[in-house]
Every structure is written in C-alpha cells, then in structure tokens.
Structure 1
C-alpha cells in the first residue's frame, strides 16, 4: 500500500482522497470561501483569498508535518515524465523535489473510463511551501489568469490536498467557492466550527451543526 493510502487507512478509515471529502465523514466542515459576486467587479476574489489563507493558517502550524498531494485526472501520460509546475513553482526548497513521489490511482471519476489519476505527493512543512500563492492559484483556476495551474494541459482536471500528519487534518480548497476540512478527531477542528461558523456553507450548515453538537461525539 502506498504512503498516502496507508495514512488514510490508519487515520481516516481508508476514505478515498477525492472530492467531496465533506460527505465522507461526520468529522468535517464545508466552508464557503467566496460569496456570490460579479466576476467583473474589482477584487472579486479578495474574499476567497482571505478566507482560504486564514483557514489554512489556522489548521497548519509552523512545525507540523505536511503531505502536499496533487491529483491530476487525465489521459496524458506525459505528466509522469514532467510533473506539474505545482512543486517546482510553489515549493521553496528545491532539494525536497527529489523526494517527490508519483503513483497512479484508479479513476476517481467513474463516468470517464479513459481517465487516470496521476498522484504526486511530497512531505514538507508550511515554511517550505509558497502556500498563499498556491491557494490563490487554485482560486483563479476557473478564470483567465497567468497562475492557472493547468494552463498547459486544459483538458485535464486536478485536486490539491494538504494533509496535516501532526494533527490528522485534511484541507481541500476545491476552487474559489469552497473548502472542505476533515479530521480524524472531531475535537481537533471544533475551534474552526466555533470561530468561523459564519463562513460555513449555508446548504450544509444544519448538518455541520448537528455533527458538532455537544450531544454528538461520534
């Protein structure tokens, strides 16, 4: 069993690292990252940048051990020979790139038989990653911007996960609209529920409130 899958088996009951993590466990919070706003308004992504970075810094401490996972869903085998610029661009310590791991994962999107998920993973710490710029790039993915991660491979899709091995928390900013944060121990993210309750997506707010009720410790 590969390192990421082994970790998930040990701490998250072997859940699939794929969207949408929120619906895979009751130890999860789904945050609204950007409220509806016209894309032609100045600074329309300002709120998305602020919320995604704020939540990230709340989850990851300076000394926490992180696995930065990038899944690329594609039928392009070229990616194995030349990994995405996610790591070369956003990882500060170039010596860490020699530790970059690659594997393939069975298609995570059952309706696309030809797709294969190419998984890249790197063990690092917060200070090793230009995480603010990376989170902004994820928010920009649906818009014409030079930071678009798959601008040279637009036919493919991707997901980026940050795994906090020290606290057993997974952070998934899926785009400018939302972010899923799950934990192996619900109490480790209760502070997010309490401090940022106004950011919880309205559609899922009742479910989150029920899961984090003091009467529900499962």
Structure 2
C-alpha cells in the first residue's frame, strides 16, 4: 500500500480523495470572495476580485498549516487509458527545493475508462511556493492571467495539501472556493466558527 493511501485509510477511513468532499461529514465548503465579481463592467478580469481571492486563500492556508507541520503535497490528474502519460517533474514549479523532485512518489487508480495519477511529496510549508501555487490554482480558468495550472488531457489537475500533523486536508479547486476536511471534531468546530461568514451551504 502506498504511503498516501495508507495515511488516508488510517486517518480518514471511508474517504476517497478522488471523489467529492461534500459527502464527508466534517467538511467545510468555503467561498473565497463574495464582494466582487470575476469580471468588471468592461467584461475584463476584475483585479479587485482576484486580489481578494488570493488574500483569502493565503490566509486560510497559513491558518491551517504551521511552519513545522508535516505535509503531503498531492498533484492529481486524470487521463483516458488510451493516451500516453509522461511522468515529468510536475511539482517542481510549486516547490522551493528541486531536491524534492527526486523524492516524488506515484500512484495510479483505475476509475471507469480513466486513470487517475497521483504525484506527491512529503514536505513542509516552507518547501512550497505559496504565492505562485495560490495564483496558479485561482487563475486556471482565465487565459489572460498568469501563472495558471497547465491542463492535461483537457483537464486542470487537482492539488491537495494534507496536513499530517493536524490531520486536515485543504483543497482549493479554483478561484471560487476550497474544501477543508478534518478528522478532529474540535478542529471542525473551530474552523466552522472561524470561517462562518464564508461557508457555502450545500
């Protein structure tokens, strides 16, 4: 059993990282910005909106992840089975230490007619380019903004930051929001209160 799979099985039994977060009981769905729109009156990307999104995302990340916390940084992409998949150093651009690329771990999950590829490393927050990472995720649907996540087989990859120290999973899916999943009832209530004005009701 892979290290990531083993960790999830032990600490989040019944949760499938390749599936929806919404059905897991201790999940918060957070909206990053509701005071502005993505586009301005001229149908151009709105800098007020995106700067607010970047600020909210960075604050949440720093709230949930301490400097000494042990993490999994997970890069997940899907491909059709009849396409070739080239394993390249996909994580390099998001990390401060290129030595980490030599420690990449891979897993593959067959799902319907697709293969889900997970590429991950163990690291700390200081190993990640936080500003670049947040912007790349939030800019992914806007071709005029940089940096952006590169699409593979027509899909943007999904990125998860798993805090092994506090047993918390953070998933920013795009500029609209993120999911916070935690194993601890106490942490769940703490985050629920902290982000109560940002929680999206399902």
TM-score (normalizing by structure 2): 0.88
Query: After TM superposition, which residue ranges in structure 1, 4 or more long, deviate above 6 angstroms?
Result: none
Q: Is the 8 A contact 1:20 1:180 kept in 2?
A: no
Alignment length (residue pairs): 193
**Aligned position for 2:131:** 132
Q: Which runs of 5+ in 1 are unaligned?
A: 205-218
Other structure's SS at 2:174 match: coil
Q: Which runs of 5+ in 2 are unaligned?
A: none
**Aligned position for 1:57:** 62
Aligned-residue CA RMSD (Å): 1.7
**Aligned position for 1:207:** none
- By how many angstroms is 1:199 displaced? 0.7
- For the structure 1 residues 98 and 125, does the alpha-carbon distance in structure 2 shift closer, same or farther, using more than 3 Å as the test? same
- For the structure 1 residues 19 and 179, does the alpha-carbon distance in structure 2 shift closer, same or farther, using more than 3 Å as the test? farther
> In structure 2, how many angstroms separate the alpha carbons of the residues matched to 1:19 and 1:177?
19
- By how many angstroms is 1:154 displaced? 5.7
Counting helix residues as a fraction of each chain, which structure ranks higher? Answer: 1
Aligned ranges 1:1-218 → 2 under 5 Å: 1-23=1-23, 25-35=24-34, 37-39=37-39, 40=44, 41-75=46-80, 76-80=83-87, 82-84=88-90, 87-107=91-111, 110=112, 113=113, 115-144=114-143, 145-151=145-151, 153=152, 155-201=154-200, 203-204=201-202
TM-score (normalizing by structure 1): 0.82
